[in-house]
Amino acid sequence: MTQVEQFSSTKSSSIAINSSLSSALSITMAREIIQSPTYFRGAKDDVIEWLEKLEQRFTMANWPDEFKLQYIPIHLQEDAYRWWNQSSAKITSWSSFVEA
């Protein structure tokens, strides 16, 4: 096997391993998001910090914006959940949620 063939084979193996690890991480993070939500209660909590943590988890799970918006209600409690119930009809995208 030539050096070029070895390099190509090694590179292909690395890509397959990285892809597999990335998929496993995405699945693990998706489970984590659903089973262990990062809660936001309203004025008692720091909304910027909460959104940053949530965004990190969503990014690690490779979730598109449509998925993010669907799972928001499980992350809200108390005043924040009441606000969501009153406002959710007007919020049609992840960016509109973040801006609200």
SS3 per residue for 14-77: HHHHHHHHHHHHHHHHHHHHHHCCCCECCCCCCHHHHHHHHHHHHHHCCCCHHHHHHHHHHHEC
The sign of the torsion formed by the CA atoms of 75, 42, 51, 98 equals: positive
56 has a pLDDT exceeding 90: no
Q: Which two tokens stand for residue 8?
A: 């190509």
pLDDT at 64: 87
Average pLDDT value for residue range 65-77: 88
4 has a pLDDT exceeding 60: no
Distance of CA 15 to the CA centre of its chain: 23
Give the pLDDT band (50/70/90) at residue 17. very low
pLDDT at 62: 82
Question: What's the mean pLDDT when you consider all of the chain?
Answer: 78
Domain ranges of the chain: 3-99
